[in-house]
Amino acid sequence: MSLRTVLTRVAITTAAGALITSVAVAPALADDDWDGGGGDPAAGSAQHDGWDQNGQGGQGGQGGQGLQRHYQGVVTAGELLLRSAPNRGSQVIRVAHRGERVSIFCKTSGQSVQGNKLWYLLTDGTWAWGSARYIDTIGTPPRWC
């Protein structure tokens, strides 16, 4: 194998690793300001987290089309490991505790946890995935990612 072939393979491997890394951190860099109003109620949009002061779901901007930005849930496990991907093998981002109220962005199907394949993408300070098995939703169920 020539030096040129080896260097080409190293370059491709490095580029692939960089791509995978950027995809893994993309939710942490995502802009959740859907309506461009910066979450300013005076600008005609809902509060930044999509919930009013009474915990009721707000209406998103988008010309009043009723898109909720975030949903609410309560942690039911003593300690819930919140992860970088919707599976139990991914990196732990933080720990949530029983009774903690969490903001849910959306839901997706992931690794089954005691028969439940749903995972919620939480937006409380960091973007992290929590198993729906240990989060009870409040009000409207979250939208699909």
CATH number at residue 89: 2.30.30.40
How many domains is the chain partitioned into structurally? 2
For every residue of 83-139, DSSP letters joined together read ESSSSTTSPEEEEEETT-EEEEEEEEEEEEETTEEEEEEE-SSS-EEEEGGGEEEES
pLDDT in tens, 31-47: 333 333 333 333 332 32
pLDDT in tens, 72-85: 999 999 999 999 99
Q: According to the model, what pLDDT value does residue 70 have?
A: 82
Which residues span the domain enclosing 17? 1-30
pLDDT in tens, 9-24: 655 666 555 445 444 4
Q: For residue 109, is pLDDT > 90? A: yes
Considering the entire predicted model, what is its pTM? 0.56
Do 86 and 22 belong together in one domain?
no
